[in-house]
Amino acid sequence: MTKKIAVVTPQIVLMARKGVKKARIVNCNNTQVSTGNKNVSRVFDKDNSSKPVSDKRLFVRLPQEHEWRKLSPAGIREVVAKKLAISPTLIGRIKPLNSGFAPSPCSTEARDKILNAGNGVFLSGAKLEAATNWVSVLISTAPAYIRKEQGVVEVSNTMLADEVERVCSVRPAHLKLYGRNKAEAPHLTWMVFFSKAPRGSFKVFDESGVARPFKKQQPLEFCKRCNDHHPTKKCSRALSCGNCGSTNLSKDLYMAVTKCRNCGGLHRSDSRRCLARPTRSGAPTKEQLKTYRQAGEREFHALLRAKVAEEFVATAESTNDNVLSSQVTQPQSNIDNSLAPSFNVINFLSINVGRGSASQDIAMARTCELKIDILLIQEPWWSSRTKTHPYYDLYLPFGGENIRPRAAIYVRKDPKRIIVKQVYPLSLTGDYCWVGVNDIMFLNIYKAPHDSTAVQPLLAWTPTSKTVAIGDFNSIYWAWQPCANSFYGQG
What confidence tier does 377 reach under pLDDT thresholds 50, 70, 90?
Answer: very high
In the CATH scheme, what is the code of domain 345-491? 3.60.10.10
CA distances in angstroms from 30 to 34, 240, 250, 318, listed in the order given: 13, 46, 55, 83
pLDDT at residue 408 is higher than 90: yes
Q: What is the pLDDT of residues 415-457, one digit of tens each?
A: 888 889 888 887 888 889 989 998 899 999 888 887 777 778 8
Q: What is the pLDDT of residues 15-53, one digit of tens each?
A: 444 444 444 444 444 444 444 444 444 433 444 444 545
* Cα 143 to Cα 321: distance, rounded to the nearest angstrom: 70
Q: What is the pLDDT of residues 90-149, one digit of tens each?
A: 888 888 888 888 888 888 777 777 777 666 555 567 777 777 778 889 998 999 999 888
Q: What percent of the chain has pLDDT over 70?
A: 77
* Cα 96 to Cα 102: distance, rounded to the nearest angstrom: 6
Q: What is the pLDDT of residues 133-154, one digit of tens each?
A: 788 899 989 999 998 888 888 8
What confidence tier does 301 reach under pLDDT thresholds 50, 70, 90?
Answer: confident
The pLDDT of residue 198 = 86
The pLDDT of residue 201 = 83
- Weakest-pLDDT range from 141-155, 248-262, 346-360, 363-377: 248-262
Interval 179-205 mean pLDDT: 86
pLDDT at residue 83 is higher than 80: no
User: What HEC string does 139-185 produce?
Assistant: EEEEECEEEECCEEEECCHHHHHHHHHHHHCCCCCEEEECCCCCCCC
The pLDDT of residue 332 = 42
Nearest to 446 by CA among 396, 383, 400: 396
pLDDT at residue 321 is higher than 80: no
What confidence tier does 335 reach under pLDDT thresholds 50, 70, 90?
Answer: very low
**Strands of 440-446's sheet in order across:** 420-423, 432-437, 440-446, 467-472
Q: Across the strands, what pairs with 412?
A: 392
Interval 233-247 mean pLDDT: 81
The pLDDT of residue 392 = 92
By three-state DSSP, how is residue 110 classified? helix
| Of 239 and 254, the one with more pLDDT | 239
